[in-house]
Amino acid sequence: MFKNLVENPEISENNEQQDSTVELTLFISKFKTTIWLLGIPTWIYGIVDQSLDTFADGYLSSLEFFHLLTTVLFFLSWLYLKPDIKDQQSQLNLCPMQSNKFALKKRHMISQEYILPFPYLCQIYHLLNLKHLETVHNFSLNNLKILNISHFQPTNIGGIIKFQTILDSPANPLRIWRKPIVEVDLILHTPYTIELSIPVYNKKRIIVIFQAFPLTDKEHQLFIDIYSDLNWPKPLLQILLHFASCLTLFEDLPYLRNLADTNIERLFKLSKFSNNASTLLFKRFVELYGTSGNTAKLIEGNH
Ligand SMILES: [Fe+2]
């Protein structure tokens, strides 16, 4: 199904056109903002230079005062001319879908791509198993604990689970980012796409989209895309997120290796009878795609 969508030439052409429009809009937006930012120190230099000249002889004539006042007024007008991104969007007549893409691109922080020597189903089990956040990521998440599952909703092709997490250590550096107790969402969108949505503060979130695709029986491709509406300087946030993503993947490698060594079919069977809250979403995956026929289709469907 996904393959057909991607290979439809009309849809791909349309998407490419939309992408190039969004790229152009982003470029214009960045160009205008850069010019505007460069203008500020230039105006300040001009005002300071003119003021020093004016007061050098200790006398302020009405003409000098008028020149200085005009320069300051021009500077204030320049500040008022700060480029408005929404205005640029409407000037380029972006349709709602393109506007959404524009907003999404603005929030997109980092992308990472890996080819990992483990079966795709191991990655799925890993991503949908909440318990591993406490154990495998004990170091990077600094003693994060799962308090309870607050919500579970199966969907036609996946499911949503919400769970409360607590930072169990008083000296936890993550407390700079977030409240001690927050509700995290984990969403199985499709058999290949999983979203982890983490609140940070003031309703701002960090959203991680994992996409796992089987390549062979023993390896898969993993794409990690992180989005955020945090008002932090983007380059700083990008460095932090790249580091955090690499660290968590590094922690996951031995765990994935262990999973690859175990019989994944057994994990499937066990999950069917399991009432373990931390693997509810994996149980949903197994219900939908867990029979050997369906699993084979998932793997074949990607080739
Ligand atoms: Fe992990």
Q: Report the pLDDT value the prediction gives residue 249, as an integer from 0 to 100.
A: 95
Q: Report the pLDDT value the prediction gives residue 122, as an integer from 0 to 100.
A: 92
Mean pLDDT value across residues 182-202: 92
Residue-wise pLDDT for 163-175, tens only, equals 999 877 666 666 5
Assess whether pLDDT exceeds 70 at residue 88.
Answer: no
Mean pLDDT value across residues 17-25: 72
Question: How many angstroms is it from 156 CA to the middle of ligand 1?
Answer: 25
Assess whether pLDDT exceeds 60 at residue 207.
Answer: yes
Residue-wise pLDDT for 280-296, tens only, equals 899 999 989 876 556 66
Residue-wise pLDDT for 235-272, tens only, equals 889 999 999 999 999 999 999 999 998 877 777 777 77
Question: How many angstroms is it from 300 CA to the middle of ligand 1?
Answer: 25
Assess whether pLDDT exceeds 60 at residue 89.
Answer: no
Q: Report the pLDDT value the prediction gives residue 181, as an integer from 0 to 100.
A: 84
Question: How many angstroms is it from 153 CA to the middle of ligand 1?
Answer: 22
Question: How many angstroms is it from 254 CA to the middle of ligand 1?
Answer: 10
Domains plus CATH for the chain? 2-94 (no CATH), 110-301 (3.90.380.10)
Angle at 113 between CA 140 and CA 17, to 5 degrees: 130
Backbone angles phi, psi at 202, to 5 degrees: 45, 45
Q: Report the pLDDT value the prediction gives residue 185, as an integer from 0 to 100.
A: 94
Indicate the average pLDDT of the chain.
82
Assess whether pLDDT exceeds 60 at residue 4.
Answer: no
Question: How many angstroms is it from 249 CA to the middle of ligand 1?
Answer: 7
Q: Report the pLDDT value the prediction gives residue 201, as an integer from 0 to 100.
A: 82
Question: How many angstroms is it from 100 CA to the middle of ligand 1?
Answer: 29
Q: Report the pLDDT value the prediction gives residue 1, as an integer from 0 to 100.
A: 35
Rg of the chain on CA atoms, in Å: 26
Q: Report the pLDDT value the prediction gives residue 7, as an integer from 0 to 100.
A: 45
Assess whether pLDDT exceeds 60 at residue 6.
Answer: no
Q: Which of 212, 237, 249 is nearest to 107 (CA)?
A: 237
Q: Which of 154, 160, 165, 181 is nearest to 131 (CA)?
A: 165
> Residue 161 CA to chain centroid, in angstroms?
19
Residue-wise pLDDT for 24-78, tens only, equals 777 787 788 888 888 889 989 988 988 888 888 777 788 888 888 888 899 898 8
Question: How many angstroms is it from 176 CA to the middle of ligand 1?
Answer: 22
Is the Cβ–Cβ distance between 118 and 219 less than 8 Å?
yes
| pLDDT bucket at 179, cuts 50 / 70 / 90 | confident
| pLDDT bucket at 140, cuts 50 / 70 / 90 | confident
Q: Report the pLDDT value the prediction gives residue 170, as an integer from 0 to 100.
A: 63
User: Reading across the β-sheet that carries 159-167, which strands appear in turn?
Assistant: 108-116, 220-228, 205-214, 193-199, 181-190, 159-167, 144-154
| pLDDT bucket at 5, cuts 50 / 70 / 90 | very low
